[in-house]
Chains A and B, each alone.
Chain A
Amino acid sequence: MNLYELTVHELIEKLDNKEITPEEITRSYIDRINEKEKDIKAFVTITEKDAIEKSKNIDRKISKFAGIPIGIKDNICTKGVRTTCSSKMLENFISPYDATVMDKINAQNMITLGKLNMDEFAMGASTEYSYFGATKNPWNLNKVPGGSSGGSAAAVAADMVPWALSSDTGGSVRQPAALCGVVGLKPTYGLVSRYGLVAFASSLDQIGPITKDVEDCANLLNIIAGYDNKDSTSAKLPQKDYTKNLKNGVKGLKIGVPKEFFGEGINEEVKEKIKNTIELYKELGAEVEECSLDIADEALAVYYIIACAEASSNLGRFDGIRYGYRAKNFENLDELFINSRSEGFGAEVKRRIILGTYVLSSGYYDAYYKKAQKVRTFIKQEFEKLFKKYDVLITPTSPTVAYDIGTRSTNPLEMYLADLCTVSVNIVGLPGISIPCGVDKNGLPIGMQIIGKSFGEETILKVAYLAEQKLEFRNKYKPEYK
């Protein structure tokens, strides 16, 4: 077996037994990247030289993760390595500081393999909106990998990185994880510091892991979770070990299954595979009940109003003066702003800035933005009602499996529907995890989403772990690169 095929916890076992060295692991991944990158296009920047150099001098006494490689989504600031957000605007931007999550990764003495492709400024659900070109789905190279963290999910699925750090504003970790057959977690809002994550929608953004299995997911969450005084939304909570309760099972656990998430618009095979997994939980002692959560369409509307409003404000900082793209031609300061922004941003980013500016503009603020924030309260209350009764909720992660590249990128509204099952979780700030639970008749992965209570990561991880052990997805199915 090749080293790059192993999970991180398997690599650590081999390192501890002195069967392998960090340099061998890193070289195995670099060779794999060089073999697969031309087909997958998962990376914006590959840090091959630095990675190999660093891997030669790893002190394994520093941490059990010392010498383990990782891939980073290209909207997380890495000192000295460019952070582009897959945008022309930041094509040459080199952050002068590390994001807090990078400080934590570096403190473990881990090895960064490079920066991963995404939809420009994380706006998209297919990675087709990257300035550097679309990433391909390893399971079928004509299909999208999902998005916005498509580079991260594809790289993990294709064994080009053992795991990755990404961001999730409306499903950007979970949805690509589902489409690529890997594990993706969006933690509770406030659990992971966002200092150094390029802001998209600040009341929704959260950093999360994309991994090969649930144990690795818990391990990476252990590394990145925790209070940070540089992020004022960061939660002050005692540190937990998220691997501790993984094997505790689901006996007596109450699972709610919102029927509206299994209705029209959800692919039949997706429904079937998830229902089979829910049956499995029943057999294993969980109490499963159908329930009602009739908010999916409203949540999607609220999401696009609030996310675009916040984005239009956050992206106001790109003015061509302190950093980022500056237009070549301008007569005065106003033209410098306008031309730099108009040339530096791609079409989807501009579309969202325009929507966001519209809903915040005088005359429409009350009808759209203020109304959406009130509906956000309604959605929160609906979730609170359900979580008085249930420990977790189970839904599909994505309404469909991976679709053909080019088929939705020209119709924004259709693209937005890809986020139908995931956005409500961001709106209410709860944790959600996507795990693969089977493939459709064409061999494309299907993702199941488990939603937990606020800071209930331990519970959703344990629910995810059990299904993973029973379904043995990784043993049964492999990407085909066809």
Chain B
Amino acid sequence: MDIKKEEILHIAKLASLKIKEEEIEEYRKNLQDILEFANIINSVDTEYLEETNGTSTNINFLREDEVNNFKDTDQLMKNAPEQENNMFKIPKVIN
């Protein structure tokens, strides 16, 4: 298996990450090493096995559909990197 530089750049783009040119090779090699190790899972015969998503025993976790407003919006907004009139400020998206 050989992971290509282009693949790393494609994956980074999917993950909204920018990788510096000089770091690409390191990320490429790390990913390749880990995937080579991970290939050990192919030694297990899983033809008749279902997938396990988690280990919670809860099925159909239902509750009343009640509105419960969070009151401390001041504290929430204090964490915003930029805000105006109690709204999150972002760069212009419509020209």
Within the complex, the shortest CB–CB distance from B17 to chain A, in Å, comes to: 5
A461 within 8 A of partner (CB): no
A466 within 8 A of partner (CB): no
Mask: chain B, 33-67; 1 = CB below 8 Å from A; 0 = not: 11101111111101001111111111001010000
A412 touches B30 (CB 8 A): yes
User: What CA separation (Å) do A334 and B52 show in the bound complex?
Assistant: 35
Among B8, B72, B81, the residue within 8 A (CB) of A326 is B81
Within the complex, the shortest CB–CB distance from B67 to chain A, in Å, comes to: 15
Closest to B23 in A: A347
A322 touches B58 (CB 8 A): no
A235 touches B51 (CB 8 A): no
A375 within 8 A of partner (CB): yes
Among A232, A332, A339, A368, the residue within 8 A (CB) of B18 is A339
User: What CA separation (Å) do A229 and B63 show in the bound complex?
Assistant: 8
In this complex, how many residues of chain A approach chain B with their Cβ under 8 Å: the count is 68
Query: Which among A141-149, A298-306, A388-396 touches the partner chain?
Result: A298-306
Mask: chain A, 417-451; 1 = CB below 8 Å from B; 0 = not: 00000000000110000000000000000000000
User: What CA separation (Å) do A316 and B49 show in the bound complex?
Assistant: 30
User: What CA separation (Å) do A353 and B11 show in the bound complex?
Assistant: 9
Among B8, B14, B41, the residue within 8 A (CB) of A371 is B41
A470 within 8 A of partner (CB): no
Q: Which residues from 327 to 371 on chain A have a C-beta closer than 8 Å to any C-beta of chain B?
A: 330-334, 336-339, 341-342, 345, 350-351, 353-355, 357-358, 361, 368, 370-371
User: What CA separation (Å) do A97 and B43 show in the bound complex?
Assistant: 46
Take A301-B38, A354-B17 as given contacts and tell me if A325 and B72 are in contact as well, using a CB distance cutoff of 8 Å.
no
Within the complex, the shortest CB–CB distance from B83 to chain A, in Å, comes to: 9
User: What CA separation (Å) do A298 and B49 show in the bound complex?
Assistant: 15
Query: Which among A7-15, A27-35, A376-384 touches the partner chain?
Result: A376-384
In this complex, how many residues of chain B approach chain A with their Cβ under 8 Å: the count is 50
User: What CA separation (Å) do A202 and B11 show in the bound complex?
Assistant: 22
User: What CA separation (Å) do A412 and B34 show in the bound complex?
Assistant: 8
Closest to A371 in B: B41
A429 touches B55 (CB 8 A): yes
User: What CA separation (Å) do A353 and B13 show in the bound complex?
Assistant: 11
B34 touches A336 (CB 8 A): no
User: What CA separation (Å) do A361 and B9 show in the bound complex?
Assistant: 13
A97 touches B72 (CB 8 A): yes
A298 touches B51 (CB 8 A): no
A413 within 8 A of partner (CB): yes
Within the complex, the shortest CB–CB distance from A272 to chain B, in Å, comes to: 28
Pick from B30, B43, B53, B63 the residue with the most CB of A within 10 Å. B30
User: What CA separation (Å) do A96 and B71 show in the bound complex?
Assistant: 10
| B interface residues (Cβ-Cβ under 8 A, vs A) | 7-8, 11-12, 14-19, 27, 30-31, 33-35, 37-44, 46, 49-58, 61, 63, 70, 72, 75-76, 78-82, 88, 90-91, 93
CB-defined A-B contacts under 8 Å, sample of 23? A96-B79, A203-B53, A235-B56, A298-B44, A316-B16, A321-B80, A321-B90, A330-B91, A332-B91, A351-B30, A351-B31, A354-B11, A354-B12, A354-B15, A357-B15, A361-B14, A371-B41, A373-B53, A377-B46, A378-B46, A380-B52, A416-B34, A429-B56
